């Protein structure tokens, strides 16, 4: 397991420790996902350490909410650098390197379908991720490599909770028929299934893991 990180070294090292405690070999490596040279070096390190790449899960992302009329275009550029260019750079390397029988998993958001006001820039970028992933699945024909996107709904992560008051969080938690926020474990189980042999017949799909909110 190779955990890539840009700013969150402590979280990456904690993930490595958890993987090692579970019996896996793991390492952390810093890379800006929008920097093609850094990402290529990350893949090089994975191949050197473990002999090849079988699964790539690209979860890096940024979020910002503002009405379209008010959004600072510098913020838009920052979002797209990570969420769109960063995804493209990572899956480009994945498309070149993942071995037969492997899987590529990207992250979208159920906001693409929900069309929440204030999420225009974020949802547009994630819509690009969905299109990229579905096209990639078809471009990988004959390779025995799957490509799917996971589109979480409201999930209790630091990224989601940041800047929201308790009333807003409670309102969002009540919207799915299951009447709660998702948890990181809920999403991790979906990703693990898509990356496993059991999920290998699922290909070129956007999986909405959102408790039924849409």
Which tokens is 1 given? 């397991």
Instruction: Report d(CA 38, CA 85) in Å as an integer.
Output: 13
Alpha carbon distance 75, 46 (integer Å): 32
Per-residue buried b or exposed e for 71-102, using 16+ beta carbons within 10 Å of the residue's own CB: beeeebeebbbbbbbbbbbbbebbbebbeeeb
Q: Are 39 and 93 in contact (CB under 8 A)?
A: yes
Q: Rounded distance, CA 9 to CA 155, Å?
A: 22
**If we measure between CA atoms, which residue out of 152, 133, 154, 126 comes closest to residue 202?**
133
Active site residues: 122
**Helix, coil or strand: residue 167:** helix
What sign has the CA pseudo-torsion 152, 153, 158, 163?
positive
Residue 193: CB atoms within 10 Å:
17
Do the beta carbons of residue 15 and residue 3 sit within 8 Å?
A: yes
């Amino acid at each position: 397991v190779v955990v890539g990180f840009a700013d969150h070294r402590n979280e990456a090292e904690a993930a490595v420790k958890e993987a090692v405690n579970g019996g896996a070999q793991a390492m952390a490596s810093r890379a800006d996902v929008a920097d093609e040279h850094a990402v290529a070096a990350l893949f090089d390190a994975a191949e050197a350490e473990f002999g090849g790449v079988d699964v790539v899960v690209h979860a890096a992302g940024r979020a910002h909410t503002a009405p379209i009329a008010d959004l600072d275009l510098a913020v838009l550029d920052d979002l797209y650098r990570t969420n769109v260019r960063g995804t493209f750079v990572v899956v480009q390397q994945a498309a070149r390197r993942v071995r037969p029988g492997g899987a590529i998993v990207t992250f979208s958001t159920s906001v693409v379908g929900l069309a929440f006001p204030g999420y225009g820039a974020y949802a547009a970028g994630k819509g690009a991720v969905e299109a990229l992933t579905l096209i990639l699945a078809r471009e990988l024909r004959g390779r025995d490599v799957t490509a799917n996107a996971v589109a979480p709904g409201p999930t209790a992560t630091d990224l989601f909770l940041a800047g929201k008051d308790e009333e807003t969080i409670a309102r969002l938690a009540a919207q799915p028929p299951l009447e709660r926020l998702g948890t990181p474990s809920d999403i991790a189980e979906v990703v693990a299934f898509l990356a496993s042999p059991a999920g290998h017949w699922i290909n070129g799909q956007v999986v909405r893991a959102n408790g039924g909110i849409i």
